[in-house]
Amino acid sequence: MLKRFRTRVWEGRWGYIFIAPAMIPFAIFTAYPLAQGLLLSFYKAGVNRDKWKYIGLKNYSNLLTRDPVFPTAIKNTFLFVLGVVPAAMVICLFVAVLIYPLSQRKQTFFRAAFYMPVVSAGVVLAMVWVYIYSQEYGLLNYIFESLGLLDLLNEGEKIGWLAQTNTALLSLAIVVLSWSLGQPLILFLAGLGAIPEPLYDAAKIDGANSWQSFWKITLPLLRPTMLFVLVVLTIAVFQVFVVVQLMTLGGPANATQTIVYRIWVTGIVGSKFGYGSAMAVILLSIVSVVAIVQFKLLDRQLT
Amino acid sequence: MKHLRLLLVLAAVLVVLLAPAQAQEPVTITYWTDPALAQPISLPQFTELAEFETWQAEQFMEMHPHVTVEVRGLDWPDLATVVPTALAAGDPPDILKDYLGRTSGYGVEGVTVDLFDHLPQEDIDDLLPGLIQLYTIDGALHAMPTYFWNHAMIVNKALFDQAGLGDMIPVDDRDWTFDEFYAAATAIKEAGIGVDFPYTLQVASEQGDYDFHAFIWGAGGEIWNPDCTPGFDDPKTLAGLEFVNTLYQEGLINSDATTAAYADQTNNLFTGKSAIMGGGMGVLNNTIGNAVKNGEVTVEMDPVIVTYPHAEGEVSGLGVGPSGFAVFDKGRSDYEMEWIVKFLLFLNSSESQVTYTQNNSQFPARASAGVPLAEDENYALTLSLIQERGTENLGLACPGFYEVRISQPPHWQAMFLGQETPEQALEALASEAEFILDM
């Protein structure tokens, strides 16, 4: 048995050597912290390492039965994902299909425009959005006022987009959405480029219109790209943090609390490292389950 | 020849005498500081975070060449995150200068050195007894206090004068009741001079809580009882909460208080949208003083300090918040500790405290530092208000202080937005505090 294992290792030695540059940092910076985090979630761990105490599943039971904010954070995170991911997918697909037939120069312009938020500093973008949403001095209220929409929506009063519980989450979701379009768009454009042109020609000869070509050729052949985008985007949106930290601090009245923001507030700011780790493990489990379900569903359609 | 011999003997004696000094082992001290002195007003050459403290450290290193001091400046948000993380990683600084509300947590966790064992008795005796009491956790002096701020109200009297309402501001005794405050706030709003929200407040983060808590204290309520149990079940706490909620619901507080930042508050004051905000000497001299200097104030400004309003029969004390130097227990040798304490005493000498307080308009913790801004009438006035009315219990040294502190804003926000009544907010907070303290 051992001999067979050794032989297999020896035979694959070049493979192991070639993947080592990627696997060693992965082991140090991802796998080890992940294992440590999992271990820490069973401890009561504060700033004094000498006082760290094994408490079994108590962090998990507290989180699921006693913590007054964590369920809200889970709910809000799911709302973010359910709102942002499908919207981003649809918008990116729509825009990609629209700009794909354009000349290379025009395509580059749109790619750059949509990708700009991805490479811009989150802090700067958040500050711009804070200004846009500002109740007193904001651009959005100014536009709404100019169009007479404030009279229609709020009896002429300026709307506190980030100050009201019924608008805060939606307002943040729009910001996250605007940041999430760049990468999927690039990927969809690449995916469209990989679809053989003769398929469209053949469809045209058969009398298919653009709509039929889209449904019967474009969409099915883009599915691998869509699966990738869906999984990556879902994982990213599950980890929404920066906009919350910079724009609302989880408020008002916990309306924009998210799981990662709770990990930050409780685990880091509140120095409850064990408790924060338990939250992180729950998030990891949720994301894993969702990703597996997505793979299963779309994979089945691919094969 | 005789001279030569004499010279050789003298040289040998000198070598022997100087040998111990040369033999001093090198010591490296890490010192992390808050940004309270990032832009000291009387030392304009220092404009960056920790620049002033680095200069201080250089002076110490010049006096003691075998000592190396590594200085790091941390912004306010970083203090709440970088230090705990460094502690958990086993790599905290030797000395940290920070607010009691955070250092007390380290004291409770037992990661700081008991300075009673290290500071000379004359230095301990020189510190204000009330501060010694605040800084003593489980019998240990967890940090050495250096100065403290005060918290009261700042009223732009110029706006009240403009509206013919100047006599509604209690400039004589600086004291007003809830009714008098309410009447003044309503009158200035109705005066039609552009004061939309007479009192500007933020409950978006815990940073605005002393403005908020002051109304609770004014009603005789408490956030923390003297025995460090939360005071959310006190009927007087509820009364204070109901008063501040009434102010918000009647438009006497800025409607964006649930998400406003500190800059929004000051902006409201500087543009005349508001006429009253919380603050003390630091806000008066540094924040407003600099804004006037920089042309950021667009209305006439005549700021006066008054106490927060109170219910009939109650006395409104002043909130005070000290900062100090904590020394973390890193298992240093006696020799290293000796030099860490020497540097600590250098940083927190009487002369240093005078420099600090002159530059951030706070009050020194050492009796020997005297009254550094005695010529400033507001400084003297504030000191007399503190002496007359005493200080409020902020609960800064209570276990769980910081976690309970950050749990409050969502409930104040929910109350303002009509999602929780004041009773519900307090009930929720009581249960949340119980959970936090039980964890």
Query: What are the chain A neighbours of B106 within 8 Å (beta carbons)?
Result: 47
Confidence at B108, pLDDT banded by 50, 70, 90: very high
Q: Which residue of A has its CA nearest to B92?
A: A47
Q: Which of residues 411-430 of B touch A (CB under 8 A)?
A: 411, 413-414, 416-417, 419-420, 428
Torsion A285-A291-A292-A297 (CA) sign: positive
Kindly state the tokens that stand for A104: 């290379």
CATH of domain B27-148+321-381: 3.40.190.10
**What confidence score (pLDDT) does residue A1 get?**
72
The ranges assigned to domains in chain A are: 1-32, 59-302
Distance CA B143, CA B162 (A): 47
How much is the pLDDT for A252?
Answer: 92
**Separation of alpha carbons B396 and B322, rounded Å:** 9
pLDDT of residue B391: 86
**Best B81, B98, B258 residue to mutate vs chain A (most A CBs within 10 Å):** B258
Residue B424's pLDDT is: 97
Assign a CATH topology to domain B150-319+393-438: D-Maltodextrin-Binding Protein; domain 2 (3.40.190)
The Cα-based distances of A114 to A119, A181, A227 in angstroms read 10, 6, 20
Interface of A with B in 200-229 (CB under 8 A): none
**Least CB–CB distance from B414: residue in A62, A134, A253:** A253
CB contact under 8 A, B413 and A44: no
Chain B residues with CB inside 8 Å of A275's CB?
439
If you measure CA to CA, which chain A residue comes closest to B77? A269
User: Right CATH number for A59-302 from 1.10.150.120, 1.10.1670.10, 1.10.3720.10, 1.10.10.1400?
Assistant: 1.10.3720.10
A250 in contact with B, Cβ within 8 Å: yes
3-class SS of residue B28:
strand
pLDDT at B10: 58
**What is the C-alpha separation between A12 and A8, in angstroms, rounded?**
6
pLDDT category of residue B3 using cuts at 50, 70 and 90? low
Residue B253's pLDDT is what? 97
What confidence category does residue A118 fall into, taking pLDDT thresholds of 50, 70 and 90?
A: confident
What's the pTM?
0.86
Question: What pLDDT is stored for residue B4 in this prediction?
Answer: 58
Q: How far apart are CA A280 and CA A274, in angstroms?
A: 10
Alpha-carbon gap, residue B263 to B282, rounded angstroms: 15
pLDDT band at residue A184 under the 50/70/90 scheme? very high
Does residue B131 carry a pLDDT above 80? yes
Residue B398 has pLDDT above 70, yes or no: yes
Q: What is the pLDDT of residue B15?
A: 54
Identify the three-state secondary structure at position B127: strand
Give the pLDDT score at A221. 93
Query: What's the average model confidence in pLDDT over B104-110?
Result: 93
Position A301 scores a pLDDT of 61
Q: Are B217 and B317 in contact (CB under 8 A)?
A: yes
Q: What percent of chain B has pLDDT over 90?
A: 71
Which of A43, A48, A67, A256 should we substitute to test contact with B (largest number of B Cβ atoms within 10 Å)?
A: A48
Tell me the average pLDDT across A32-52. 94
CA distances from B405 to A265, B63, B98, B205 (A): 12, 42, 17, 9
Residues of A in contact with B403 (CB under 8 A): 270, 272
- Within an 8 Å CB–CB cutoff, is residue A123 touching chain B? no
What is the 8-class DSSP label of residue B306?
A: E
> In this complex, is the C-beta atom of B248 within 8 Å of any C-beta atom belonging to chain A?
no
Rounded CA separation B72/B80 (Å): 15
Contacts of A272 in chain B (CB under 8 A): 403, 439
Q: Which residue of A has its CA nearest to B400?
A: A270
**Mean predicted lDDT score pLDDT of chain A:** 91
Q: Does A71 touch chain B (CB under 8 A)?
A: no
pLDDT at A192 over 90: yes
pLDDT band at B375 (very low <50, low <70, confident <90, very high): confident
In the numeric block, the tokens 């009603």 are attached to B219
| Residue in B80, B259, B416 closest to A248 by CB | B259
pLDDT averaged over every residue in chain B = 91
Find chain A residues with C-beta within 8 A of B104's C-beta: none
User: Is B343:B67 a contact under the CB 8 Å cutoff?
Assistant: yes
* Cβ contact, residue pair A273, B88, below 8 Å: yes
Q: Which amino acid would we find at residue A260?
A: V
DSSP 8-state assignment for residue B309? P
pLDDT tens by residue, A231-278: 999 999 999 999 999 999 998 999 999 999 999 999 998 899 999 999
Average pLDDT over residues A108-132: 87
Provide, as residue numbers in chain B, all residues whose Cβ is less than 8 Å from the Cβ of A49: 88, 90
B111: which chain A residues are within 8 Å (Cβ-Cβ)?
A: 47-48
- CATH 3.40.190.10 residue ranges for chain B: 27-148+321-381, 150-319+393-438
> Which chain B residues are closer than 8 Å to A164 by Cβ?
417
Burial (0-12, 13-18, 19+ Cβ within 10 Å), B121: exposed
Residue pairs between chains A and B whose CB atoms are closer than 8 Å: 97
B406 with A135: Cβ contact below 8 A: no
Is A164 close to B410, i.e. CB distance below 8 A?
A: no
Task: Name the residue of chain A whose CA is nearest to B87's CA.
Answer: A47
What is the C-alpha separation between B297 and B205, in angstroms, rounded? 25
Local confidence band at B17 (pLDDT 50, 70, 90 cut-offs): low
* Count of helices and strands (H, E) across chain A: 17, 2
Q: Is A101 a residue whose pLDDT tops 60?
A: yes
pLDDT of residue B166: 96
Does the pLDDT value for residue B36 go beyond 70? yes
**Is B402 within 8 Å of chain A by CB?**
yes
Q: Is residue B251 less than 8 Å (CB to CB) from chain A? A: no
Q: What is the ipTM of this complex?
A: 0.82
Distance from CA of A2 to the nearest CA of B (A): 39
Q: What are the chain B neighbours of A62 within 8 Å (beta carbons)?
A: 435, 439
B179: pLDDT confidence band, cut at 50, 70 and 90?
very high
